Amino acid sequence: MSAPFPHFIIVDDSQLDCFIAEKIIQNAGSYSSVKSYMEATEAYEAIKKSVPGPADAMTIIVLDIQMPVMNGFQFVDAFEQLPADIRSNYAIFLFSSSINENDKNRLGNYPSIRRFYGKPISKDTVAQMIETL
């Protein structure tokens, strides 16, 4: 029996980027659900409250770096403080239109970040993310 399709959470302050990611993921077809958050704090609260069932599919988080209020790295900081049984249901992928050396070096400090991708998200990226699960 193959694993169920993953859920997707998109965290990006750009409405257009959220919209694109939703479309690309939906068009790729391999998803159980897609939800967008323009505020990272709201996404964090939702994840904190989530109670996944044992047989539930993994959730892929498509995370933007530069956002006001709570940026991508601050989001991961907060995420990594969550209990392990919640964290194990999520896979975080970082997205940005550019990345500086400083940010690149920081990636290594976050075990829960699976990979960094340049924007825009594409069908191939979605397939690759699902592949790593």
Which CB sits closer to another protein, 89 or 122?
122
Whose structure tokens read 């920081």?
106
Q: Among 1, 51, 55, 69, which residue interacts with another protein (rule: CB under 8 A)? A: 69
Burial string for 42-70 (b: 16+ CB within 10 Å, else e) reads ebbeebeeeeeeeeebbbbbbbbbebeeb
Q: Is 24 in the site for another protein (CB under 8 A)?
A: yes
Tell me if 75 sits within 8 A of 42, measured CB to CB: no
Q: Please classify residue 25 by burial: count the beta carbons closer than 10 Å to its beta carbon, then call 0-12 exposed, 13-18 middle and 19+ buried.
A: buried
Which CB sits closer to another protein, 28 or 58?
28
Q: Is 38 in the site for another protein (CB under 8 A)?
A: yes
CB of 17 to another protein, least distance (A): 5
- Contact residues for another protein (CB under 8 A)? 13-17, 19-21, 23-24, 27, 38-39, 66-69, 96-98, 100, 119-122
